[in-house]
Every structure is written in structure tokens, then in C-alpha cells.
Structure 1
Amino acid sequence: MGRDLRQGLRQRRAVGGVLAANFEMYDAGDLINVKGNRMSNTVVPFELFSPDYFRDPYSALDWLRENSPVHRYVFPVGNVPMWVVTRYDDAVTILGDPRFSTAEWRGSPEFQASGLSVSAGTVLSQTIPGLDPPQHTKVRRCAMSAFTPRSVDRWREDIRTIVDDTIKDWAPGQERELVAEFAALIPSRVVSTRLGFTLERREQLAGDVDLLISTDPADFPRIPGARERIIAYGRELVALKRAEPGDDLTSAFIRAADEEGRITQDELDALVIIMIIAGVGTTKMFLTNAVLALFDHPGQLKLVADDPGILAGTGVEELLRYESPVASTPWRFPTEDIRIRDQVIAAGEPVMVMVAAANRDPAVFDDPHRLDLTRTGARHLGLGHGIHNCLGAAAARLISEMTLATLVGRFPGLRLAIPREEVRRHEVWALNDYRALPVIL
């Protein structure tokens, strides 16, 4: 790596960062352009997580899946030995095996010394994705009471109102920037409404969530402040809703916690904090990814325009398979030496389960690089698998279905405003995220 990149990595490690996503939450430290494949059990013809990789990640992941499905890799930050897993069946095995922990304290000495973990010492260490049973079980049971099908169905009117209000001034022929003006606004407004916080707080918190996953060195000094504000507001919101409960998720979590009587105040605060982070960030990414995927498959875009109801069936599921917001799950740490295929993963060595690769495994999905909204068959991993599957999956599906159906239904001729090759990804190893998406209505 060049001197500037090394300096940037050191800066990022010093300030830390948090990545939230739809598998409950993603907590990672150095979410920047990671360049260099220093050591591997197989020599690869590309640099993992380099700018070239981000221009075409699926070709690289295809190569790994075929040639080195359980791939030894040294993460450049801290020179941490770890593993990159790309086949669907191995991903399902690891995500469903209780011997693979998500608790960062179980990570190897190299991982602990690297600065890749940022949750230790804060309430973020109590968020559901970083917990193992039985603690995970009790906290998740408390949270699930607010995500029953009946509860989530009550979101419909809020979503409809928010989508309509967001695009009320839009008209055919206009150019709009879909990330900033649409995909980023709608999920944050829905989540803020359902959690029970104010418009002013929504705007500030949406900016803070963006900061937490920023890869711009100019943002690094501001990241600790963003993290502290989100934590402080989560705690403030819990205190407010305990004093003045309402018909919102925060109040529901408090009632469930009081009835259970077995989760701590930190666990309750962390539950609300993770809803703020994950709810705002990941659905924004998915909406952007979904629209771009439809642009790349005009026949499928027409299918939605002709029958928006397809999204409520197989459509959203296929869009999640094709490009979920999450490229890789949070770290998994084996609690003992475990063999996967012909490799033994030592206890504590971090494992990156590449959902982006598993969801396009040709051994499982026919013609996997083609979007087919009528596809049925194997379950994708876009919302996770095992005990850490997406807590808010039903809500995420509903927001996505209603939002995409309204957008395409009103503007069936929607198209890119720039050449396709000018659409740029954020160079963040764990995410499928795009910087901007200019469109013509």
C-alpha cells in the first residue's frame, strides 16, 4: 500500500467506525479502501478490496468461489490473518453453526490488537449482532414482540404517506439524484416515525449514520462525535418514552423489556440504538441497488411497471439475492478449530462470509448473474441465516415493496441520467453501496 493509504488506515483505526446493516447490525472498524492481498493460500489474479475490485467485485468473487472457496487472506489493517468464504453451502454452514461466534472478544490476538473492533467499551458491545446465546436469545425475544406480522402491517399507512410526500413535486422529465433525494430519505423518515423521534433528530441522525460508514479521510475526525451522538440519543429516547410512552417501537421495546424483566438497561438502550443505525442505513442501500439492477435489466423494469404486485411476491426476494446491501456478514469467530472443506480455521481467526458471492453461486442459482423477478427455489442469504438473520426483515421487505412499486408505477420510463460506467460504488468491503444515482423521471 502507498504511504497515504497506510496513513488513512491508521487514522481510521484511531477513530473507529461502525457499519450497520440489515443482519441486525454490522460492527466493523476500518471500512475504507483496503488495498493489497499480502498473503494467501492461493495466488489470486487480483487485489481484494482494491479500486479495481470495486469496479467489478462479482468477477473476483466468481474466481474465488471456483478456485479458492475458503480463502486465506491477511487483512491489511493490523495484518490480521482471516478467511474469505464464497460458496453458498459453506456460508449456510458457518452462519448456522453456533461454534462460529459474532462476539468480538472471541477474536484472535491479532484481531484484538488491530483496531478493527470498535464496540468494546461502549454500549454497542450489547447490540444483538455481537451477542451469543443465551444473552442473544433473551434480547432478541424481547425485540421480536415489536416485529410480529400484525405490528409490521401497521407501518403501511406511514410508508404510503412518507413516499407520497417525498415525491409529491416530482414530474416526468426532471432529473433527480435518487440516493440523496429518495433512497436516503424514505427509510430514515419511516424509522424515525416508528421509533418515535422528531424531524430535527431524524435529519441529524441520518447524517451521523452516513458519517459512521464514511471512507473520506476528511470525515475521520468527526466519526467519534457521530457515534457518541447516536448512543446518547438512543439513551435519551428510551428515557423519554419510558416517561411518556406512545404507539411506537421504542415504547414497545420498553414494555417488552419490563415484562421480561431480564434484559439490562444497556441491552435495552443498545436495542434502540441498533434500530436507529440499521434502519436508516441498509434500506437506503437496498433501494438504490434495486433500481440500478432494474436499469441493468430493462425487461424486468417493464415487468414491475406492468405489474408492481410482483415485488410483494418473488420480486423483492430476487432483488435481495441479486445485490443485497451487505456484501459480507459481520466477522465470525470460531470458538474452536473447525474444518471447512480442506481448510482448518483456527479458533479466533476472523471469517468473512461473502454473501455477495454465495447469493450468486451457480451451484445453487441458475444463471445467477441474471435478474429474474419470477425466480423461485433456494433461499437467498440477503437477510442473513441462522440466529442472526435480519430482525427487521418483515419491515424491510414492506418498505422496499411499497417504495419501489410507487416509484416505478409513477415513472415507468425511469432511466439513468449518466452513462452506466460512471456509476460508482463506495469502496467499503462489507457493503454493496453506491455514491449517487442520477436519474431522469
Structure 2
Amino acid sequence: MAEAAADTAAAGCPVDGPGLFTREFVADPYPAYAHLRAHAPVHRTTLPSGVEAWLVTRYADARQALADTRLSKNPRHSEQAWKQGKVGVPGEQRSGIGAHLLNLDPPDHTRLRRLVSKAFTPRRAEDFRPRVQELTDRLIDGFAAGGEADLIHDFAFPLPIYAVCDLLGVPAADQDDFRTWAGMMIRHGSGPRGGVARAVRHMRGYLKDLIHRKRGDLGDDLISGLIRASDHGEHLTEDEAAAMAFILLFAGFETTVNLIGNGLRTLLTHPDARARLTVDPETRIGPAVEELLRYDGPVELATWRFTTVDTPIGGVVVPAGEPVLVVLASADRDGRRFPDADTLDLERADNQHLAFGHGIHYCIGAPLARLEGQIAITTLLRRLPDLELAEPPGELRWRGGLIMRGLQRLPVRFTPEPGSGRSAPEPAGVRPAAP
């Protein structure tokens, strides 16, 4: 029996178990991933888009694949049928925003990452702490007196948008536009629908105009830093600038939306763990956020990789030119790496999760996302101590999509906070739509 299972796994064939990409899978993918880890850890499947790809589900294999130079981020290395569009291509390629950090290999990746890396260091993120705290309190002020809220729409969504706009140097008068484009991105993900392409066109045009305006008045923001770098020989093309805007939205925005939303849902459904966190939040929030990232992280699958040569992964030889998707959500629930992997342990030691990836494509926005998650969660639980879900956990719906994992809504109720009012600006046009 064990030999048969091993033969099936080695061939990359599925074994009967929970279905992939069903409605039940979107709500809770972890049973299906556990089945794949046990029976077909490197598994070739057909995605909802029609693209055939290999899923890598065990921690050791995932970590290897994320750092393997034989796996390219550039779709030009994919098989000929993919290039010709006969089996579909990733949505961002169709939207004209493919030349960003997540789709490039060295040396282009090295050059572009160097342009933005200084803006996302742990020290720079820590310098941003007072502003993140101010934004967090303003947003809570906006709903704390009402006794109920949708923590995605009212809190987790706008917080990183305000933060990334400040980081980029987007003037306050223009931030409503950025929130609208971000709303289009989170509704449609990186799919081929028109919303993404329209948002990218708007961002491309806006960024070109903002660069022109800032040249005469450079500040300490990221756009000014890109201008200085370009002026000193690190050339950034218009297409690269548009693609950079796209990836910064994801590096500084959608990952954080899901970190906060998923993390709060987890705490609200694990009252004992939440109670321990609130006893000493300043000390415990760091390890707690790492465990929330591992347990139900914001990114379900790492972005596309393509084998440049026949590449062995987990005992399976993946042919050259094949798409590979590393399943971060599965790797971080692998009991071979994490004892009691399906148990939430906010004080877990040796928590080297892969929620932000691994290797040269490790999430550039991780320090800022961690900071925002820590401040958002501790502040909300401190100010609204009796916060609870306003509907059963099983009725919460998740946004459809392949890469990211996040909730559509997170309705809660609580005792109104005296003295609070709606002092925070209303997020314009950013309520995530149903998939």
C-alpha cells in the first residue's frame, strides 16, 4: 500500500482525496493540501484557468524550489504552448505589467530590487511606526462608536493603502485614486479581467506625471528615491516604473490586508490564544504575528516559476519549460517541519515559516507588513476588548483567486467605545466585491 502511494506520488498523479479549487477548498484548503503532502507532494494539476502546473506542497521541497536557480521567474522560459497562449498565461502578462520584480531573474531583478530595498528595511519600517499607529487609531475612531464594523472594509483594507501612499509619496489629494485602483486589484487579483488592466493603465499614467512633478521638489519618499537613482545612472524605464507601482501595491498592500484580516479571524475563533496574547501584548505580539502568518497566511501560493531544465523536486523530475507553483500554505502546515502543525501556538519556537517566501524573491514588504500587523492587531484588541464575530465562522466567504488568501468581509460587533466618532476619511470605492 505504501509502495503504491509512493509510486503515485513520484508520477505526480493525484490520489483520491478532497477536491482542489472547489468552493469548499477556497474556504478551507488545508485538508486537501494535507492529502497532497501525504500522497502526491509534487503534483501536476489543471488550474481553474486551464493552465497545467506543478504544485509543490511539502516544506523541504518548497524551500528548495523557492531558492533553486533552475526555476526562473521569467515566463519566457515556459513551454511553447504557453508562449502561444494555447493553455493560458498569468493574468499580469495580459495586462502589460509583467516586467516587475516577481517576474524577473538576475541581473534585472537585482538592479530593480536595489532601487526599492532601502524603503523596506526593518529600520525604515520602524521609523514609520508613529505614522502607522496614527493611521490605525484614526481608522478605529471611525467605527468604534458604532458597535459594529466590517474589519476588512473599515480597517484591514484602508490601513495599508494609506501607509503605502505615504511611503510612495502620493499627495493626500490623489490618494482616493490610489484606493480606487487598489480596490480594482483586490477584486480581480492578477486575473485577465479588464479591471486590472485599467488600474495598471491609470497607475502608469499617474506615476509618469508624479515623477515629472516631483523632479523639482524631491522628498524622502520612495518615488523621490527612484528619481534620484535614475538620475545617477540606475535607469528605470516607463514600463518598469508602471510595473514597480504594481508590485509595490502588493508588497505594501494586499499582503498586509490579508495578514490583518486572516489574523483577526484566527484570534476571534481561538479565544484562549487571544486571551493569552492580551495579557502581555507588547511582548507576545511579535511571535504571535509569526504564528498567524504560518497558520493561515496571506499568500497561499508563491508566484509563478518555470523550470529552465529538467529539475528534480521531491523525487519527481519536472520537465523543462513547466510552470511550478510552491504552495506556501501547505508547506507551513507540514508536520515534518512544524510539530502539531494544525494547532495554533502563538508562542511557537523555531517558527521559520515561508509565508513571505524564501531566497532572492523574499517579500520586499515583509518588514512593513509585520509592523502594520502588530500595531493593527494589538491596538484593535486593546481598544475593543469584547470584539466578537457577528456571524458564524463557517459563513465567512473568501475572495476567489489563486495566489492570495483573504476574506471578503469580517463583520464584528463590540461594546461601543465612548467618545469615538467618524474622524477617519471614508475609503472611496474599495469595498472588495464578491468573486
TM-score (structure 1 length as normaliser): 0.85
Check whether the contact 1:127–1:274 (CA below 8 A) recurs between aligned residues: yes
The answer to whether structure 1 residue 53 and structure 2 residue 25 are counterparts is yes
Moved more, 61-70 or 238-247: 238-247
Q: Deviations over 1:93-144 (max 9, x none)?
A: 0001111111112122233313323444776222111110111111112211
Aligned to 1:36: none
* Unpaired segments ≥5 residues, structure 1: 1-38
2:310, 2:373 → 1: CA distance? 40
2:249, 2:198 → 1: CA distance? 16
Amino acid at match of 1:125: G
| Aligned match for 2:41, one of 61, 66, 69 | 69
Aligned to 2:311: 338
Structure 1 residues 380 and 257: CA distance shift in structure 2, 3 A: farther
Check whether the contact 1:238–1:269 (CA below 8 A) recurs between aligned residues: no
Alignment of structure 1 residues 52-201 onto 2, 5 Å: 52-78=24-50, 80-112=51-83, 113=85, 114-120=87-93, 124-171=97-144, 174-201=147-174
Paired residue total: 400
Structure 1 residues 349 and 164: CA distance shift in structure 2, 3 A: same
Amino acid at match of 1:237: L
The answer to whether structure 1 residue 405 and structure 2 residue 378 are counterparts is yes
Percent of residue pairs identical:
36
- CA offset at residue 324 of structure 1? 1.4
1:193, 1:141 → 2: CA distance? 20
Please give the secondary structure, in 2, of the residue aligned with 1:54.
helix
- CA offset at residue 260 of structure 1? 5.0
1:222, 1:262 → 2: CA distance? 29
The answer to whether structure 1 residue 241 and structure 2 residue 196 are counterparts is no
Q: Deviations over 1:256-288 (max 9, x none)?
A: 343353554543443244213442222111100
Please give the secondary structure, in 2, of the residue aligned with 1:339.
strand
Q: Deviations over 1:9-51 (max 9, x none)?
A: xxxxxxxxxxxxxxxxxxxxxxxxxxxxxx9612332331111
1:186, 1:287 → 2: CA distance? 10
2:162, 2:188 → 1: CA distance? 24
Moved more, 113-122 or 138-147: 113-122
Q: Deviations over 1:308-365 (max 9, x none)?
A: 2145531211111111110001111011011113321111110111000000100011
Deviating above 6 A after TM superposition, structure 1's stretches of 4 or more consecutive aligned residues are none
Structure 1 residues 269 and 42: CA distance shift in structure 2, 3 A: closer
Check whether the contact 1:424–1:436 (CA below 8 A) recurs between aligned residues: yes
* Unpaired segments ≥5 residues, structure 2: 1-10, 415-435
TM-score (structure 2 length as normaliser): 0.86
Structure 1 residues 352 and 209: CA distance shift in structure 2, 3 A: same
Please give the secondary structure, in 2, of the residue aligned with 1:333.
strand
What is the aligned-residue RMSD (CA, Å)?
A: 2.3
Moved more, 385-394 or 195-204: 195-204
Check whether the contact 1:143–1:271 (CA below 8 A) recurs between aligned residues: no
- CA offset at residue 220 of structure 1? 4.1
1:116, 1:203 → 2: CA distance? 31
2:186, 2:139 → 1: CA distance? 25
1:89, 1:353 → 2: CA distance? 11
